[in-house]
Amino acid sequence: MDLAVKLYEDNSCKLKYVSGVLVGAALVVVAVKRYRKYKYDQKRQNYPRDTVVLHQIGRGKAIPSVSPFPIKLETFLRMAKIPFINEHTHQPSSKGKTPWITYNGEDVDDSQMCIDFLNKKLGVDMNKHLSLEQKSIGHAFRILVEDHLYWTMAYVAYAGDLTATRSVMPYDPLTNMFLVRAWTKVIRKQLWCQGMGRHTVEQVNHLIKSDLMALSVFLGRKRFFFGSEPCEFDCCVFGMLALALWCMPGSLHETLVNKEFPNLKDYIYRVRETFWPDWNECILEPEQGGTRGKKEK
């Protein structure tokens, strides 16, 4: 008490004390950061050689990820039979994006750049059976899915009522509330800048239907996007459509895929059976809020 009174009355003592506390706190912060970096560098040194380390957010309740791009990338790794391990983390890449990969010490982000990197590094080409015209069509559909359909899904998930979005997030209620609120702010701004956020709900619904119809018509009765053999473009289409089916309850996307475009639904299940035979192990257990082991509706 005497100390407190002394501090209150004695200015030079107070200043010394406060600056001492601040310097101490700063030193602690620096020390913690350096320790974390040391541990992180150690972890990176222990990454196995010639194995892709796929950094992605954690598993979902009914789907391996609540984001389409990790599913795309992981489907590609499985399709191309590239050895990989998952590192579930919220740590983004230097560009602030996720997922990203590390391969023999090299970091690459952006799902498509990861695929292009691995194609070049490992001499992989899951599109080699396609003609040049088919590749150009596949490229156009990939952009449709990743740069248009994706934004309609972001609109539905974040531009309006967040109840459905919160229900599929694999976090505890408090983290859920903060994360979803933080993401919503960012994504709504992204939607406005990109353009989708300037449309009405009715207009976005029309766009959703147009995109899914285009996909359904092009797929037709084929097993995969370009015939009986899968290709790289199937990874990105699957990643996006899987989200529609298992991560957007009550949405127009889910309704259309489930009911109006049955060939898309069959396609999604087909890709899942082909490349994700362990799907059940890649979703959360019931104790963690997941649907592992539960019968699908």
Query: Applying CB under 8 A, which residues contact its own copies?
Result: 95-97, 110, 113, 132-133, 135-137, 139-141, 143-144, 147-148, 189-190, 192-195, 198-199, 203, 206, 210-211, 213-215, 217-218, 220
At CA 74, angle to CA 157 and CA 121, rounded to 5?
130
80 or 113: whose CB is closer to its own copies?
113
91 or 136: whose CB is closer to its own copies?
136
221 or 297: whose CB is closer to its own copies?
221
Distance CA 187, CA 200 (A): 16
109's enclosing H/E stretch is strand 106-109
At its nearest, how many Å lie between its own copies and the CB of residue 196?
9
Residue at 28: amino acid letter = V
Burial class (CB in 10 A: 0-12, 13-18, 19+), 8: exposed
73 or 283: whose CB is closer to its own copies?
73
At its nearest, how many Å lie between its own copies and the CB of residue 144?
4
Q: Which of 130, 136, 95 is nearest to 114 (CA)?
A: 95
At its nearest, how many Å lie between its own copies and the CB of residue 210?
6
131 or 167: whose CB is closer to its own copies?
131
Burial class (CB in 10 A: 0-12, 13-18, 19+), 91: exposed
90 or 206: whose CB is closer to its own copies?
206
According to DSSP, residue 8 is labeled: H
At its nearest, how many Å lie between its own copies and the CB of residue 294?
35
Contact 123, 138 (CB under 8 A): no
Distance CA 91, CA 103 (A): 17
At its nearest, how many Å lie between its own copies and the CB of residue 258?
20
90 or 97: whose CB is closer to its own copies?
97
At its nearest, how many Å lie between its own copies and the CB of residue 33?
25
At its nearest, how many Å lie between its own copies and the CB of residue 193?
4
C-alpha separations of 3 from 6, 9, 17, 22, 124 in Å: 5, 10, 11, 19, 71
What residues are paired with 224 via a beta bridge? 227
**Torsions phi, psi of 12, nearest 5?**
-65, -35
